[in-house]
Amino acid sequence: MPGKKGKKRIVAIGGGTGLSTILRGLKQYDVDLTAIVTVADDGGSSGKIRKDYMIPPPGDVRNVIAALSDVEPLVLEMFQYRFAASEGLGGHSLGNLMLAAMTNITGDFSSAVAEMSRFLNIKGRVLPAANQIITLGAELEDGSIINGESKIPVYGHRIRRVFLLPDEVEPLDDAVRAIRRADMIIVGPGSLYTSILPNLLVPGIGEAVLKSKARRLYICNIMTQPGETSSFSASDHVRVMYDHLGARFLDGVVVNDGTGLDAVAEDYRQQQSVPVQGDVENLGKLADDVILADIATIVGGHVRHDAGKVAELICSYLDSPDGAAV
């Protein structure tokens, strides 16, 4: 069944800056958008609010709300404003504090997200992956167990698997329902172990993605991430997701073709980060459609996905009869 007024339904799953970037592009199209956002963060302002107020961390959700909002620029700038160093408010984003206040007012984090979404007049819906505090744990290749999303990338050992604590995490019914009704599911971009998998590992969400009849497209990171995906090819990213969910589920994979990175390549190399290689032959064994495209841009010295190009590619893939014509 189509979405509102016959619109195609797109569900985007992830967190961090990657998901926000993609949504900024997609909101320009006449589609029905739902974003399912990780709540496993435990660092920075989000981590402090999580600890002090015992609510899910609001940072990733805040960024996605901002990406989808349609308000006066000054209002959005205020929502994203981060206080300078001080004993009390230093480091906190005003939007994080507003979400914490709204959670106390409504008594429920998901209700707070819905109210803040209305306040900022967003296009689509933003849903936290879970309506409770969860902790991301990791087992490293040396057998060490690390608990805490912010701690996982700093150990320097390859990650064998990640998992959620507690074992029983309840997904939002709306999130599961959105996945079941979707025409397309976008996974990523974002940190593989600490932004994408914390969503897919929530019981009910991963299962719904596996069973979905929608086209399922993975937007691969452009650069490898030290502490998480060092030396990973695109197929390595995909295999990790398949291993964690126990099944192949992607129809297509989008990988940057390597262009547009020369200006910052050396800076990234010094940070032990290199372009993710689109190993087409291996990817072809993992998904029906492998799409190499020029989707990178440089913003303030940082590599980002080009929101306009990726959104155009996604909508072209969704509208094409066989999924491959983009």
pLDDT of residue 90: 75
Work out the burial of residue 1: count CB atoms within 10 Å of its CB; fewer than 13 is exposed, 13-18 middle, 19 or more buried: exposed
pLDDT of residue 1: 42
Provide CB contacts within 8 A for 225, sequence distance 6+: 153, 191, 192, 273
pLDDT of residue 321: 75
How remote is the C-alpha of 124 from its chain's centroid? 16
pLDDT of residue 86: 66
Please say whether the beta carbons of 18 and 221 come within 8 A.
Answer: yes
Q: For domain 9-41+124-315, which architecture applies?
A: 3-Layer(aba) Sandwich (3.40)
pLDDT of residue 177: 97
Residue-wise burial string across 239-258, b where 16 or more C-beta atoms lie within 10 A, e elsewhere: bbbeebbeeebbbbbbbbee
pLDDT of residue 2: 52
**Nearest Cα to 185, choosing from 211, 166, 222, 152?**
211
Q: Where are the domains of the chain?
A: 9-41+124-315
d(C-alpha 79, C-alpha 62), whole Å: 9
Query: Quick one: DSSP state of residue 195?
Result: I
pLDDT of residue 156: 77
pLDDT of residue 3: 58
pLDDT tens-place values along the chain, 326 residues long: 455 667 999 999 999 889 999 999 999 999 999 999 999 999 888 999 999 999 999 999 999 999 999 999 999 999 999 998 766 787 899 999 999 999 999 999 999 999 999 999 999 999 999 999 999 999 999 999 999 999 998 887 899 999 999 988 989 999 999 999 999 999 999 999 999 999 999 999 999 999 999 999 999 999 999 999 999 999 999 999 999 999 999 999 999 998 889 899 999 999 999 999 999 999 999 999 999 999 999 999 999 999 999 999 999 999 987 655 44
> Cα-flanking dihedrals φ and ψ of residue 65, to 5°?
-60, -45
d(C-alpha 13, C-alpha 37), whole Å: 6
pLDDT of residue 325: 44
pLDDT of residue 157: 83
Q: Three-state SS for 323? A: coil
Q: What is the dihedral of CA 293, 37, 16, 272, to 10 degrees?
A: -70
pLDDT of residue 4: 60
Provide CB contacts within 8 A for 75, sequence distance 6+: 120
**Nearest Cα to 101, choosing from 91, 87, 90, 113?**
113
d(C-alpha 161, C-alpha 159), whole Å: 6
297, amino acid identity: T
pLDDT of residue 323: 56
pLDDT of residue 326: 45
277, amino acid identity: Q
